[in-house]
Amino acid sequence: MKKLLIICLSAISLCASAQKISSDVSEPDGTRTITTYGVRCNSGGALSLSYTSFQLSATVLGDGVKYIIGIDALKHSPYYIKTGSLLLLRTFAGETIELRAVADADARFADIGYRTATSYSRLAQYSVSREELEKIVADGVQKYRLQTDGKPFEDEFSKDKVGKALGKALVNIDKALNTKKDFRDGF
């Protein structure tokens, strides 16, 4: 019972941190990048040996904002995601949204502590427009599929977890974007 309580409390704290900003960095060239903590979204429950964590980042480039959905997928065999690989998201409204990886992601050995299984994890990043992001948040994500060099990695949900997590992340990124970070902001 004590172990179950610890696992439940850990899961709650992980979900709570997922809505917060993990970094807010301004570069000397004026580029600003804001990233949220990832939130674990899987249909297998707290003890599942495979999971996927979703995070959101925004980079301010001049007058525009570029959004990236980051996905950290924990699997039990090595995998590779190439630049341009697809991420398919099916909303609860039945629409399919296709996103492309912006960089290569090579899964590396992941030390997951209490689990004895060998696991591999790597953060893959997918470009997403503001409109696509708002659709994901509004309609929720029923299913996703990651294109890898081997077998695709996918999961399906009976309730929206991904859209809710990304929606909370978007609200916090919007708040951060409306707050001046650097001395040069608004000059």
For 28-76, the pLDDT digits (tens) are: 888 889 988 888 876 655 444 466 788 999 998 878 899 999 988 776 6
Range of the domain at 8: 2-177
- Coil, strand or helix: which one is 110? strand
pLDDT of residue 130 exceeding 70: yes
For residue 53, which of 119, 117, 118, 102 has the smallest C-alpha distance? 119
Q: How far apart are CA 147 and CA 8, in angstroms?
A: 31
Residue 52 domain flag: yes
Q: Label residue 183 by pLDDT band (50, 70, 90).
A: low
Overall residue count recorded for the chain in this entry: 187
CATH assignment at residue 143:
2.60.40
The structure tokens listed for 109 are 């050995």
> Is the distance from CB of 33 to CB of 58 less than 8 angstroms?
yes
Dihedral angle sign, alpha carbons of residues 18, 163, 77, 122:
negative
Residue 61 domain flag: yes
Residue 185 domain flag: no
Residue 183 domain flag: no
Region of residue 45 (left: phi > 0; alpha: psi -120 to 50; beta: else)? left
Kindly report the pTM of this predicted structure.
0.77
For residue 113, which of 49, 43, 38, 17 has the smallest C-alpha distance? 49
Residue 184 domain flag: no
What values do phi and psi take at 80, rounded to 5?
-135, 135
Residue 126 domain flag: yes
Q: How far apart are CA 25 and CA 126, in angstroms?
A: 20
Residue 187 domain flag: no
Q: How far apart are CA 17 and CA 170, in angstroms?
A: 14
Residue 182 domain flag: no
Split into its structural domains, the chain has a count of 1
Q: How far apart are CA 100 and CA 176, in angstroms?
A: 26
Q: Label residue 79 by pLDDT band (50, 70, 90).
A: confident
For residue 99, which of 152, 43, 140, 147 has the smallest C-alpha distance? 147
Query: What average pLDDT does the chain have?
Result: 78
Q: How far apart are CA 73 and CA 55, in angstroms?
A: 12
